[in-house]
Amino acid sequence: MDFKVADLSLADFGRKEIRLAEHEMPGLMATRKEFAASQPLRGAKIMGSLHMTIQTAVLIETLVALGADVRWVSCNIFSTQDHAAAAVVVGPEGTVEEPKGVPVFAWKGETLEEYWWCTDQALQWPDGTGPNMILDDGGDATLLVHKGAEFEKAGGVVPTASEDDPEEWGIILDLLRRTVNDDRRWTKTAEAIKGVTEETTTGVHRLYEMFNNRQLLFPAINVNDSVTKSKFDNKYGCRHSVIDGLNRATDVLIGGKVAVVAGYGDVGKGCADALRGQGARVIVTEIDPICALQAAMDGFQVTTLEEVVGIADIFVTTTGNFSIITADHMAQMKHNAIVSNIGHFDNEIDMAGLARIPGIEKEEVKPQVHTWRFPDGKQIIVLAEGRLMNLGCATGHPSFVMSNSFTNQVIAQIELFTKTDDYPIGVYVLPKHLDEKVARLHLDALGVKLTVLSKKQAEYIGVDVEGPYKPDHYRY
Ligand code: NAI
C-alpha cells in the first residue's frame, strides 16, 4: 500500500482515540449499521481532502464499511493529527509491519509543495486511474482536477504563476505543468468523477461560482448548507474549538480581555458566544446589516476594526473573505495582541504584508505560535501562521458535532454515487427529510425526548407526522 504519514508507530494511540470517538459519533455508527448489508458504496473510489483528524478517521472507516475504496489527504498543512493518520493507514485489522487500512498522504506541518504533492497522490490509484467520487473541504481537490482539465482543453498550455497568491498558485501551476500531458489525465479524471460532496462555506462558494461560470464539470452536493452541518459544526463546533485553540496556543486568561470577532455568520456567532462565555468583552465587525443587527441584538458592540484595533487583546477572523486584518492594522495593535483566523483560508490576515514590514522580526514560540516584533519593540502573537487556528493550534471540533457533519457527508456520497442520473451538473443540498434524519440520530445520546405530533396537529400545521417539519425556506 502506498501512503505517507509522519510516524506509523503512533497508530496504537490513534486507534484508542478512534474507539473513544466512535462512541461520540452516533450518526456515523448508525449509518454503518443501516448500510452494512446493502454496501451502497461498493465500487466507489473516493478521494477525500479533509482535515486528517480522529473524527475524520471515523468518517473514513465508515465509508470503507459501506464498501468504498478510499484515498485521503488533509485540506490544510497544519490540521493533520499524526496519530489519526497512522491509525487509518494501519487500519483496525492491520499492524505497523503490515498496514491494511487506507492510503493517507498527510502529516502535521506540510510545506505547500508537500500539500499539493499529497493531493496529487491521493488522486491517483495504483492502477493509474483516478477517483470516481471526491469528498472535499474547501475545494482544493476539486480545483486541481478542474484546472488540469481546463489546461488540457486549452491544448496543454499551463500559464506561468500569476493571480493573488503567487507562491501557492505557482506551486499548483508547477504541478500541473508536470502532469498535464497528451494522456489527458485530468480530463479523464474529471470525466470519471460522478460528483463531489463539499464540506465548508468557502468550498461551496467556489462551487457555485464555477457552476454560474459554466465551468463545473461534475455535480456537487453542498453538505455545508445542511442545517445539521452549518448550524451545528460552524456554530457549536467553533464555540468549542476557538477557545481550545487560544488556550493551547497561549493559555492567556480570556476573562476581562477585549476580543474582536470579524464576521457574524455561523462561525462568528459561535466564536463570539464562546469568548463572551469566558468573560471577554466581545466586539463584532460585519459588512452585512442583517448579521450586524443580529450581533447588536445579541448584546455585542458592533463597530469597524479601525475603531478598536488599538484597544483589543484578541482578534479572530471568521469571514471567509480576504484582507480582513491588514499589515497596517497589525502595526496599530497593542503589545502581545493575539491575532488569529478560524476561516478556511489564510488570506483573512495579510501575513505576506506583515512579513514585508521593514525591520519586522518573526520568532517561533512553539510550532504554530509566533511573535512578530516591530522595529519599535512592540510585538504581536500570530496563531497558526494565519491559518485556521482551531485545527492548527488545537484539534478542531469535537466528535459529537462532527458526527452531524460527517453523517451528512456519508449520506451525500451515497446519494451522488447511487443516484447519479438524478443529479445533472449543478450544486444541490440534501433534502430536508435527510437533514432531520441526521439530527434524529443524535438525540438519544443527549437524552432528548421528542414530542410526537398528533395526526390532527400535523394536519393543522400542514406537515406529515413523520416530517419534514419545516418548509425549505425556513431558516432555523
Ligand atoms: P458565513 O457566510 O455564515 O459568515 C461569514 C460572515 O462574514 C458573513 O456574515 C459576512 O457578512 C461576514 N463578512 C464578510 N466580509 C466581511 C468583512 N470584510 N468584515 C466583516 N465581516 C465580513 O460563513 P461561515 O459559515 O460562518 O464560515 C466562515 C468561514 O469559516 C468560511 O471560510 C468557512 O469555510 C470557515 N469554517 C471554518 C471552520 C473551522 O473549523 N475552522 C468550520 C466551519 C466553517
- 476 occurs within a structural domain: no
- 435 occurs within a structural domain: no
- 19 occurs within a structural domain: yes
Q: Which residue has the cell 501512503?
A: 3
Tell me: do 46 and 178 sit in the same domain: yes
Annotated binding-site residue? 234: yes
Tell me: do 240 and 343 sit in the same domain: yes
ipTM above 0.90, yes or no: yes
| Active-site residue set | 51, 74, 79, 137, 199, 224, 229, 233-234, 238, 344, 397, 405, 409
- 29 occurs within a structural domain: yes
Tell me: do 240 and 350 sit in the same domain: yes
Annotated binding-site residue? 286: yes
- 210 occurs within a structural domain: no
Q: What is the distance between the terminal CA atoms of the chain, rounded to a whole angstrom? A: 45
Tell me: do 17 and 165 sit in the same domain: yes
* End-of-domain residue from the set 352, 376, 393: 393
- 27 occurs within a structural domain: yes
Annotated binding-site residue? 263: yes
Q: Which residue has the cell 456537487?
A: 220
Find the CATH number of the domain harbouring 373: 3.40.50.720
Tell me: do 18 and 150 sit in the same domain: yes
Tell me: do 194 and 244 sit in the same domain: no
Ligand 1 atom showing the smallest separation from residue 342 Cα:
41
Candidates 201, 261, 391: which one to mutate for ligand 1, based on the most atoms within 8 Å of Cβ? 201
CB distance 321 to ligand 1 below 6 Å:
yes
Candidates 231, 234, 293: which one to mutate for ligand 1, based on the most atoms within 8 Å of Cβ? 234
Tell me: do 267 and 384 sit in the same domain: yes
Q: Of 358, 303, 357, 364, which is closest to residue 327 (Cα–Cα)? A: 357
Going by alpha carbons, the residue nearest to atom 18 of ligand 1 is 324
Q: What is the pLDDT along the chain (476 residues), one digit of tens a residue?
A: 999 999 999 999 999 999 999 999 999 999 999 999 999 999 999 999 999 999 999 999 999 999 999 999 999 999 999 999 999 999 999 999 999 999 999 999 999 999 999 999 999 999 999 999 999 999 999 999 999 999 999 999 998 866 656 789 999 999 999 999 879 999 999 999 999 999 999 999 999 999 999 999 999 999 999 999 999 999 999 999 999 999 999 999 999 999 999 999 999 999 999 999 999 999 999 999 999 999 999 999 999 999 999 999 999 999 999 999 999 999 999 999 999 999 999 999 999 999 999 999 999 999 999 999 999 999 999 999 999 999 999 999 999 999 999 999 999 999 999 999 999 999 999 999 999 999 999 999 999 999 999 999 999 999 999 999 999 999 99
Tell me: do 184 and 249 sit in the same domain: no
Tell me: do 146 and 250 sit in the same domain: no
Q: Provide the domain count of the chain.
A: 2
Tell me: do 34 and 154 sit in the same domain: yes
366 CA to centre of ligand 1 in angstroms: 27
* End-of-domain residue from the set 346, 363, 393: 393
Q: Let me know the angle formed at the C-alpha of 277 by 271 and 278, rounded to the nearest 5 degrees.
A: 95
Q: What predicted TM-score, i.e. pTM, was given to this entire model?
A: 0.97
Domain that residue 386 falls in: 235-393
* End-of-domain residue from the set 177, 198, 219: 198
Candidates 53, 200, 229: which one to mutate for ligand 1, based on the most atoms within 8 Å of Cβ? 200
- 39 occurs within a structural domain: yes
- 190 occurs within a structural domain: yes
Tell me: do 20 and 130 sit in the same domain: yes
Annotated binding-site residue? 137: yes
Find the CATH number of the domain harbouring 175: 3.40.50.1480
Tell me: do 113 and 261 sit in the same domain: no
